[in-house]
A and B are shown apart, each in its own frame.
Chain A
């Protein structure tokens, strides 16, 4: 392979692509040619780098310089200064919030410093559309080992030693699950990779598929060998076009290289992989519903037992794992279960990928050892809360999860600790909430989400969610009554006990955790008709603070109903009867950011 002096690793994950990363890449390439550097500098399109907040981003190796918020028009300057004259350009480097000095090196940036990359080890370093680059970093070595040196029992034993637990939500030990399926006495067996990723606010699986699809394929072929499956399915959300594209390219290339298909690596073992596009239904992430969906049916869950390990896809033994679970497997085989088990906590081994989003400065994709505290994740890696506001809670586990309050910020994050706190690990979405987030509204949000997504097959879930929504809506409208708190508890308990699948059984979690940790917010809504976060529209009123308003007229222009008037340089006037409480003025007011709120809500 050709040697280059400098490598430009341009992130082409979905976040950066939506910020026109491909234009940046094209501009870089043409500028490099123009300045006669094409034999010295190469441009590589990588998967998600993780630091989506600052996109489009690029890392220049070997110096490890991190460039962010790139603009097409700055590229000629950057190429000339850095690649021709050897002077890295400070203007495009990262400055931490509330500081002034730039941090040139990626490894010095807090966001990256605390992370430990196992699953995401290839992120931002290889081109996911080129199998050779994956192979260049030990790719498919684990497969070679598993196929030629290990018996199926040994593979399963290694995964058990590692203590790997499912990353799709429930955290079931992967080795044990494989064992069940391996023991099923049938000739035909299937594997599934669950890439439905239905949790809103989570994009780990998407990023893994986009950044390192071969890791998932390799894991699946190893699993197939261990279990004795001949065919596998990857079920991908239809909303993920880039991930779909990359997984298809990866399958094509792996097949060409003899790493998939007939007689893999000359070992006589056959395994075929298919990609199935999902249809956009949250419940299809549940494995029995997912199986129905692959069969071309409506995705409704079925009661278990029989478990998929006995009767799954087309009635045959089937093993389903999450994307991240599969991506961990090659590393375990290559480096040994003991190595994996040395990472993490007593019950939860290895690392976990989180998508850190919401009201946090450094949103993005984060991989840390199990047991890392929420504080490290939110404040060190995440850089704290947006606009210096006050931290309130972290929501973990998606719609089945819960809200962890500030008092538990030092909680080490693993399966057990999160469950103890009333939340769950889920698939790894962490949504940071601040003082402007209303917890009753959050509970209502998840209930509404699940009400839409409930498949309607069982009564407790279908009706329970409807009633929860009614009660929560009354409370947010200021029509709450004391008895409503009890009603919420009752409905929640019933749903937990009687629902058919985990969707219904875990659906009350967001309500229960907010009731447990933020009861006073519910009480304020009910007894004082007050929403302290200023979210519930029926309970707030907008008003301009004359002393703070500089008369800049931004809000006058932003107001869609002309409720705000006033000449320049004089405090503006807000006519309450015209105000529709859309919050446009609040969003644009500059003096909210600098001097508290010029327009505030009470």
Chain B
């Protein structure tokens, strides 16, 4: 983990060094300053996650220091140390933008607790940001995919007669037919969503679920059936731990049966992505899977 740096600003040497000792024993990196002005100087040279600031400092007081620190780094978490453990001063400090406060005199545990709370706040804030970022990316993604779909639709002149070809192209792009895209197709082409769904469920070429990285098609056409295709299928099911029609947990393989790939001379046949594996015996199955 990246080292967490904390800045302690207090004019009382005992408090400064006490804080340093306590926090360093908890593996934080600590810098100290005896006045607000000096603290601000230090803050300009380094990035601190948190600052412990005495409210009553000579010269610039604690609240003004918080303001200045915020200008340097808006993410810093300020905590006030106060000799007057009163509600009013606490409220005043919080209003000025402090995250929390500790009253003198304090025990090491009190300091550690308040710092921990600050860290949790930092973490949550970051996650929140990530979440927002993710949402934004997803929105961008969605816009992108909609525009890809729009391109496909335009290629077919929004002609409903080409619906099957359109869905085939969409599936080629996205590896399956995502719901939001189907809705988009229906809306843009002005056809009922039910029609789009009935086509996507009727034809076996379509999948409404995401499929794995590699698609395994086991031929169970007649030629492959009489030459033991079912044994190959069962072996694959056992090796992958899934059933016909399912996708492995790690989304690496999707397994499905097909009826004749037109390569019956080489029965039994398995097609993985676009590669044909003919004249198979089940003993070869693990070796073939290992290649992917």
Contact = CB atoms under 8 A, between A and B. Distances in A.
A298 B199 contact: yes
Interface string A507-522: 0000000000000000
A405 interface: no
Interface residues of B, number: 47
B46 interface: no
Interface string B214-247: 0000001111111110010011001000000000
A201 B221 contact: yes
A587 B282 contact: yes
Given A18-B263, A52-B265, A279-B168, A583 B222 contact: no
Contacts of B57: none
B288 to A, nearest CB: 14
Contact of B265 (A363, A437, A588): A363
Given A18-B278, A239-B258, A280-B204, A429 B231 contact: no
Contacts, number: 157
B8 to A, nearest CB: 65
B260 A201 contact: yes
Given A14-B262, A18-B266, A55-B265, A281 B168 contact: no
Contacts of A429: 222
Nearest to B202: A298
Interface in A557-579: 557-558, 560
B228 A197 contact: no
B99 interface: no
A282 to B, nearest CB: 7
Interface in A414-462: 429, 431, 433, 437, 442, 445-446, 449, 455
Contacts of A446: 222
A294 B165 CA distance: 10
Contacts of A199: 260
Interface string B251-292: 000000011111111110100001110100111000000000
A178 interface: no
Interface in B162-212: 162-165, 168, 195, 198-199, 202-206
Interface in A532-575: 557-558, 560
A294 B203 contact: no
A498 B199 CA distance: 27
Nearest to B259: A200
Contact of A582 (B164, B204, B235, B278): B235
A52 B266 contact: yes
B9 to A, nearest CB: 69
A49 to B, nearest CB: 11
Interface string A1-31: 0000000000000110111000000000000
B1 interface: no
Given A238-B205, A299-B202, A587-B281, A355 B264 contact: yes
Nearest to A279: B203
Given A279-B205, A431-B226, A203 B260 contact: yes
Nearest to B231: A583
B162 A296 contact: yes
A206 interface: yes
Contacts of B161: 294-296
A364 interface: yes
Interface in A216-248: 238-241
B160 interface: yes
A278 B203 CA distance: 9
Contacts of B204: 279-281
Nearest to B198: A298
B281 A200 contact: no
A383 interface: no
Nearest to B161: A296
Interface string A190-213: 000000011111110010000000
A520 B204 CA distance: 37
Interface residues of A, number: 59
Contacts of A455: 202
A276 B165 contact: yes
A482 interface: no
Contacts of B262: 14, 197, 203, 206, 239-240
Given A295-B161, A364-B265, A588 B199 contact: no
A355 B275 CA distance: 22
A584 B222 contact: no
B222 A201 contact: yes
A277 interface: yes
Contacts of A282: 259
Contact of A203 (B205, B264, B278): B264
Contact of A449 (B206, B238, B259, B282): B259
B281 A357 contact: no
A584 B285 CA distance: 11
A14 B165 contact: no
Contact of A15 (B226, B228, B266): B266
A51 to B, nearest CB: 8
B195 to A, nearest CB: 8
Contacts of A14: 261-263, 276
A53 interface: yes
Contacts of A296: 159-164, 199
Nearest to A588: B283
Nearest to B258: A239
A583 B164 contact: no
A137 to B, nearest CB: 25
Contacts of B276: 14, 17-19
B93 to A, nearest CB: 69
Given A296-B162, A358-B222, A588-B281, A53 B265 contact: yes
Given A199-B260, A201-B264, A202-B260, A357 B283 contact: no
A68 interface: no
Interface string A270-312: 0000001111111000000000011111110000000000000
Given A279-B168, A281-B203, A295-B161, A584 B266 contact: no
B106 to A, nearest CB: 66
A437 B235 CA distance: 20
B203 A280 contact: yes
Contact of B278 (A19, A202, A442): A19
A372 interface: no
A395 interface: yes
A557 B283 CA distance: 9
A359 interface: yes
A442 B264 contact: no
Contacts of B275: 18
B226 A280 contact: no
Contact of A584 (B159, B224, B283): B283
B261 A19 contact: no
A251 to B, nearest CB: 16
A587 B160 contact: no
- Most B CB contacts (10 A, CB to CB) among A197, A357, A588 go to A357
A447 to B, nearest CB: 13
A17 B274 CA distance: 11
A395 B265 CA distance: 16
B286 to A, nearest CB: 9
18 contacts: A15-B278, A18-B278, A52-B265, A52-B266, A198-B259, A203-B260, A203-B264, A277-B164, A279-B206, A281-B202, A296-B159, A298-B202, A363-B264, A429-B222, A433-B226, A557-B283, A583-B231, A584-B281
Given A14-B262, A19-B266, A201-B222, 19 more contacts: A14-B261, A15-B265, A17-B276, A18-B263, A19-B276, A52-B264, A52-B265, A203-B263, A203-B264, A276-B164, A277-B165, A279-B205, A298-B198, A433-B226, A560-B235, A582-B231, A582-B238, A582-B282, A587-B228
Interface of A: 14-15, 17-19, 52-53, 55, 197-203, 206, 238-241, 276-282, 293-299, 355, 357-359, 363-364, 395, 398, 429, 431, 433, 437, 442, 445-446, 449, 455, 557-558, 560, 582-584, 587-588
Closest 7 CB pairs of A and B: A52-B265, A279-B203, A18-B276, A200-B221, A201-B222, A357-B223, A200-B260
